[in-house]
Structure 1
Amino acid sequence: MADNELPIVDELEFADEMDQVSSPSLGTWKVLIVDDEVEVHTITRLALEDFSFHNKSLKFLSAYSGIEARQIMLEHPDIAIALLDVIMESDDAGLITVKYIRETLQNRAIRIILRTGQPGRVPEQKVVVEYDIDDYKTKTELTSQKLFTTIVTSLRAHTLLVSLNANLEHANAALIQSTKLKDEFLSTMNHELRTPLNAILGMTECLLGEFFGTINSNQEEALEIIKSSSKDLLKLINDMMDASKIMAGMLNLDITTVAIADLCSSSLKFVKHKALEKQIQLKMSLVAHLTTIAVDEQRLRQVLVHLLDNAIKFTPAGGKVSLDVKIENEQDSDPWIQFLVTDTGIGIAPHHQAQIFQPFTQIDGGLTRKYEGTGLGLALVQQLIELHGGYVSFSSEIGQGSCFAVHLPLHKGYTGK
């Protein structure tokens, strides 16, 4: 017997196993036989002509070259198993077909079983490692019994993959729909909440300006609380919308050349009032020889204000908060700029430090926490800086304070001092 023939032996044992899985056919499994020898097609069909698995029989498709097999795969993407010869019109025709199925067609569900009559020319170890196949058999190895077992196990794997893919597609569709509904809800709530909030803020400003008559000190204090609370709520809405846009990949940066001194000064102005209320000293230091940076000015200011606001919030009255700009790795070809926000506040406990960039996480949990806020700020800071190609780091010590550092790459044209 030639080494490329497919022998049919142990027919009785094969028939006994077939009885265990046979039942009236409710469909077919498509099996593609790829071999340049007609006898191999005939023997395979004879060996499996009564096969049934999960109430489905086999439907055979034949290809006599790798080129023909690739065309059939295009026409029948639902093929369950390919029994694929290696050496046909070329020594690697079968291997080329494997790559075409897995890489070009991106078909991961079909089970590919390589069959070769010349294993010495196609080393099994090399093929199994380098090609995405499911089994490797010599043609003399595939007796009727072995062929039956191979087909059953391959169909089980194929069924599982098809089921997993279907479940994944269903889950993805549900996720897309859920994301769409979430975005629609946030967009609606953004409008519905922002409109009355702006009206409240506008009316509060009018009342504080005594456009509708004189107010007393108690009324003024109450109106200031309304104004402050409304601004906090408006800030929360803005942060939630920004976080939602980033997660959806819809937030685009507007990169321009920005004066560093102006950026830092304007950021400090946003928090100056809160610092004065707590008698916290604000300081700023800049790098003299670096005056501009290419960033999204609005977003970087948003980051710095978040960090400064946090620093003031967690620093006791009479403390200090500083904003410093430095150059790191200045002697390297790709230096970075650092924006450091340092405080003399309460610090962050080591067991809390791994969680602070998680959305809606606060180091002071519980319903009666002393420090207000949603815990969204630092998560948003990290996301905005990563959009710029940078990262955020920090150091902290309980009772001594914290330092948050924003690291951003400098433009290629930076030449140092």
Structure 2
Amino acid sequence: MDDDLITLVADDIEDVPAPSSAWVVAVIDDDPAVHEGTRYALSNFMLDGRGLEILSAYSAREARALLADRRDVAVIMLDVVMETDDAGLLLVDYIRRELCEETARIILRTGQPGQAPERRIIVDYDINDYKAKTELTADKLFTSLTASLRAFQQLKRLDETRRGLEIIIDAAPMLLDHKSMQRLAEGVLTQVASLLNVAVAGILVLRESEEAEARFCVLAGSGCYGHYVSRQPAWPLGQEVHPLVEKAFAERSHTFGDHWSTLYVHTSSGSEIVALIEADRALSETDRALIALFTSRLSIAFDNVILYEKLQRANTDLEQRVIERTAELIRANRRLAMQRSDLRRANSFKTEILGTVAHDLKNPLSVILGRAEMLADIIEIDATAPEKRPQMRAQVEHIRTSTKRLTAMIDSLMADAMNDAHDITLRREPVDLAALAREVCDANRPLAGSKGQSLVYEGPDNLYLCGDTERLREALDNLVSNAVKYSALGGEIRMRVSRETGGPGAAQGPELVCAVADNGPGLSPEDATRVFGRFQRLSAKPTAGEGSTGLGLSIVRRIAELHGGRATAESDGPGQGAVFAVRFPEESVALL
């Protein structure tokens, strides 16, 4: 009868290995007869074309090891009283709390219902069904197991859906972050495998337009299809793959088969992507729904990469145009620099000529003015020809007026020359003073050689300060050219760069010094007091008849002062040569 109780059977039932797709049921009871009766009653059980794989544990301890090892158990038939009166209840707590197994259905079976009140057990211990062993007939066992498996199946689908949605949500930022089409394609195949939770082999193909077959491109491949990525040309594919991919492009829709599935994505930029997936099982309805949701978000990711690559190409073109334009600007800059150099040389020549003319004209004009004053005095004293005295006074006054006017004009020219010579601004940058001194020596060595002089540099290879390279070059050049101008023919000139402790007049601390020593006429006491003045002519004369504006050393002093330093001149007296130097306090100009 259908309502008979489950009883032990005499014959041993041989365990037959269940297929991998069978429902897994765990029977946990310390009574072997319960295990045998359950197997007998459920020997022909089938649900959705799947049979049962029944696992047995005869104590709560065995059950813990079994359930920790097998995480695919769908239904657990559990006895309450085993080693202890509450062994089954403690096992439920272990399953739910420690194993965090929430989908497996638990049917509690007890032979002593009074020891575990039904309502409290169902609520407190997350039990899905509660049966006394005396009421579990074959039919009721079948009904209870079927209901539990249905519930497990629904929970499993919900869990898979939840896991799939989490994967899709987590994957979205990662996929959108890709900047390479190939990396994005590889990420898509990886995420599909993770989403389906199966081993997946696949290939992802891009078609950028519908016009020519040559526009097909294999972006990524996994498993047995990985070799297609490096194949040249990558199209057509193999005999099995080619028709499936072409069909997907033609139908423009997803296709799901027992082992093959094709996913179609159309981007707003006009590109089309087909992913061919080969899985070791047919995709469930939940899998298909998740795949459809996942691929619906891929269009944005692919468009993002396509636009990024276009932007990269545009950026590369722009960079090339910038490089070309920069080269043009550099060439223009060089032309301007050459023009500026020419203008500076012309302006320097103009200043020199202006200074020389102004200086050389002022002295004769001073003589003329003095003689005019003397002539006026003589006219007043002379008693002869008193009738001509007014005319003579008028002529003398004309001479004096014209001379004063011309003197004022020369003073204005001298002021202009001085402004050009001293209107100096600095552009500070690291300067190798030693290297700059060597360059100045090299530049002036031909001039010194024309007079049979030797020009020698003494100092370190490098000595840095912070200043204006061109202004410092001008100061050093003035010192060297001045030494060449006043040194005797065949003499020796030495240029020395060093770091020295501060001497008289120096600030506290060491100084960076560039000194030029000559064997010229030296300095007289009078010359030493005015050597750095403006338009000063020294008592000594250039040794080869060179001209002098009297501005060179005053410019040297001005440049030194602008750098926070000073200019010095030392001589042991006339005929003993002289040493002219620029000195810079190290703490204010040395490069840190």
Structure (1 or 2) with the larger CA radius of gyration: 2
More helix by share: 2
What is the TM-score when the length of structure 2 is the normalising length? 0.28
What is the TM-score when the length of structure 1 is the normalising length? 0.39
